[in-house]
Amino acid sequence: MSEMIPVQIDDITCEVEKGTTILQACKCAGLRVPTLCHHPDLEVAGICRICVVEVEGMSGLQAACAFPIRQPIKVRTNSPRVRRARRVNLDLILSEHYGDCYTCTRNGTCELQDLAREYGVDRYRYPSTTAPKFRIDRSTAIVRDQNKCISCKRCIRTCIDLQQVSALETANRGHDVLIQTAFNKPISEVVCINCGQCINRCPTGALRSNMPNELIWQAIDDPEKHVIIQTAPSPRAAIGEEFGYEPGTSVTKKLNAALRRVGFDSIFDTNFAADLTIMEEGTELLTRLKKALVDGDSSVKVPMFTSCSPGWVKYIEHYYPEYLDHLSTCKSPQQMFGAILKTYYAKKIGVNPDKMVVVALMPCVAKKFECNRPEMTDSGGKDVDFGLTTREMAVLIKESGIHLKDLPDEDFDHPLGLGSGAGLIFGATGGVMEAAIRSVYEIVTGRPVPFKGLDVTPIRGMEGIRDAALTIENPLPEYQWLDGITLKVAVAHGTANAKLLMERLKEGTLDYHFIEVMACPGGCLGGGGQPIPTSPEIRAARARAIYAEDHELVLRKSHENPEINQLYAEFLGEPLGHLSHKLLHTHYTPRGRFFLEGI
């Protein structure tokens, strides 16, 4: 137990642990101190000076977020001096911000807008920025609008500290500070993995995702087009937040009803494709293990990494291109589904795939980049036409005049709308691994995994890297070669944690067989396309919602999904078969960590 220190904040006296910041102490005391550059996921910066407070005995005002309490202090959070200083700081920030609120995607969720309202800003006290100064930088996934940037550096701290990608940096000094990419190149040309975590942490609209909403409306309004939506597991556990539900409320069935009313022709469950991924990836894992462990084939690389997260895929393409052979060749569920929809399903319902538009509701910004990869065209055209984030879908629903809370519960369409609980938990970090273990263990031994209620608890949770070991005993005859072998698996979320694993792989001290990596902290449920704000508590709530929904399902193992088995029987043949190989697997591009002409 560390030392407790008495503090007095305004008229409240309390005791806090030594090292607690004034901001945290205020929260404990039930007082709200405004913040702007502070974010619970990020390192303390103390840049914006909105959280200034008076500390008795100190001449200057102190930033509450960056002041650790080491001795008894008296703090005033609401003195005239504090109010005046906060207002001046806010006015100065506003004078540099191109506040074109009507046309801003963050209208209503902008933290600067909130502060302006809170502080009764009714005019600009300093000259305001009336015209944009910077060109808008657009990639397929991310849009940067520096005119709205207030240099709080949350994106920098996200990109450099949290994700360790370093696509964004601070250029220049003092008043001239700009948030830039390396050499001020377009975002599409630098080492950016499109995870969109910066978007989730931007307090204003300086960073946003590339919205395809208009194009989706065009497709929906075109009577010739058959528009299909597939919904990933994470958005359903989070989109409720956009409609006034508490974080951690699953709205799967209401969302289906909403999508039908928006005008989508078919509504399918990406969990189905997640189950398909498990079939393919599980088989790939067993094949790799046999070749590596029994046949001694050194061209087969173990550990195998998952390939569901497009942010992670681009990360390894940039930073560890020499290890691309370790990446599973399986496409992500989104892309597998697109390829199946435009082949098998198009034929089944007699629709020309060219007239089919596949939209994927994803928690993810990188999915936009993924569906535009040139190699993702195995169905003949683009396998998936649009990646749509949870936030963007909320706009689409609101624009349709739909009140999510008032809708009835509705189901997915079939035959591709049945997903297992194993597919559902793909949304949480560790979920792909758990789903794989549930199926692979049972396929190999004929028995369910030896965990209570099928919950593989060692790989659940929010720790950066988690691992588990599972010894195979008495396998079925065809898997005798696995008898007595202890399968070691690991799970990492956030590319900073992935980097730790990759460095160990480089050193040769990584002895796992199978590793799941998700680029975003918390896995997909903490994705860059999820509702804003996001915080450790909100991510934990979303995870609880996903695991709770998994428990309610009867079907909880991918290989028992009857619609998957039907798909193999009617169309694909077998996992890793010829057609699977053509439609469901892909290859990767070594990109390197420098994006410069002539290099």
Partner 1 sequence: MTTGTRAVADELQEILLNHEKDRTQLLPILVDINKYFGHIDSNAIIEVSRYTGVPIGEIHGVITFYSFLGQKKRGRFVIRLCRTISCDIAGKDQIVRVLEKELGIHFGETTDDGVFSLEYTNCIGMCDNPPAMLINDKVYGGLTPERVVDILDSFKLSEYQDMFGYGGVE
Q: Which two tokens stand for residue 332?
A: 């992500």
Closest CA to 362 of 138, 194, 225, 490: 194
Say how many C-beta atoms besides its own lie within 10 A of residue 225's C-beta: 17
Q: How big is the site for partner 1, counted in residues (CB under 8 A)?
A: 20
549 is catalytic: no
* Minimum distance from residue 158 beta carbon to partner 1 (Å): 13
Q: Which residues contact 257 (CB under 8 A, 6 or more apart)?
A: 407, 408, 409, 410
DSSP single-letter state for residue 237: T
Taking the complex as a whole, how short is the minimal distance between the CB of residue 594 and partner 1, in angstroms?
5
Q: Which residues contact 435 (CB under 8 A, 6 or more apart)?
A: 274, 275, 278, 420, 422, 423, 425, 426, 558
**Cβ atoms of residues 360 and 335 within 8 Å:** no
Cα separation, 328 vs 350, whole angstroms: 33
Nearer to partner 1, 94 or 190 (CB): 190
Identity of the residue, 170 or 287, whose beta carbon is nearer to partner 1 in the bound complex: 170
Active-site pick, 37, 198, 308, 371:
308
Q: Are strands 465-471 and 486-493 parallel, antiparallel or unpaired?
A: antiparallel
- Provide the minimum distance between the beta carbon of 154 and partner 1 in the complex, in angstroms, as a whole number: 16
Neighbour tally for 32: CB within 10 Å: 10
In angstroms, what is the minimal distance from the CB of 413 to partner 1? 45
β-strand 356-362 against 386-389: which pairing, if any? parallel
Task: For partner 1, give the closer residue by CB, 140 or 181.
Answer: 181
H-run or E-run covering 138: strand 137-138
| Residue 298 is a binding residue for partner 1 (CB under 8 A) | no
Minimum CB separation from partner 1 for residue 495, in Å?
12
| Residue number, 124 or 183, with CB nearest to partner 1 | 183
Pick the catalytic residue from 524, 557, 558, 580. 524
The two beta strands, 52-55 and 62-63, are: antiparallel
List binders of partner 1 among 135-174 (CB under 8 A).
Answer: 160, 165-173
Give kind and range of the element (H or E) at residue 505: helix 495-507
CB of 326 to partner 1, least distance (A): 21
Active site annotation includes 328: yes
Pick the closest to residue 111 from 28, 46, 39 (CA basis).
39
CA angle 539, 332, 377 (to 5 degrees): 140
**Minimum gap (Å) between residue 169 Cβ and partner 1:** 4
Of 83, 506, 551, 593, the one binding partner 1 by CB under 8 A: 593
Q: CB nearer to partner 1: give 77 or 180.
A: 180
Sequence-distant (6+) residues with CB within 8 A of 173 are none
Q: Per-residue contact track with partner 1, 170 to 209, x per CB under 8 A?
A: xxxx------xxxx------xx------------------
Positions in 223-252 near partner 1 (CB under 8 A): none
Let me know if 155 is a catalytic residue.
Answer: no
Can you read off the two tokens belonging to residue 431? 């979920």
Contact, 242 vs 388, CB < 8 A? Answer: no
User: Is 167 or 279 the residue whose CB approaches partner 1 more closely?
Assistant: 167
Whether 111 is catalytic is: no
CA-to-CA dists, residue 259 to 132, 153, 247, 526, angstroms: 36, 37, 21, 22
Site for partner 1 in 514-553 (CB under 8 A): none
Whose Cβ is closer to partner 1: residue 57's or residue 174's?
174
Find the radius of gyration of the CA atoms of the chain.
25
Q: Please say if 56 is a catalytic residue.
A: no
Lookup: tokens for 462: 């929010």
d(CA 252, CA 411): 9
Find the catalytic residue in 281, 317, 442, 549.
281
* Beta carbon nearer to partner 1, 238 or 316: 316
Catalytic: which of 96, 241, 317, 370?
Answer: 370
| Annotated catalytic residue, options 328, 332, 379, 558 | 328
Q: Tell me whether residue 524 is one of the annotated catalytic residues.
A: yes
Contact 142, 199 (CB under 8 A): yes
* Least distance in angstroms from the C-beta of 503 to partner 1: 10
Catalytically active residues are: 281, 284, 308, 328, 367, 370, 375, 524
Interaction site with partner 1 (CB under 8 A): 160, 165-173, 180-183, 190-191, 593-594, 596, 599
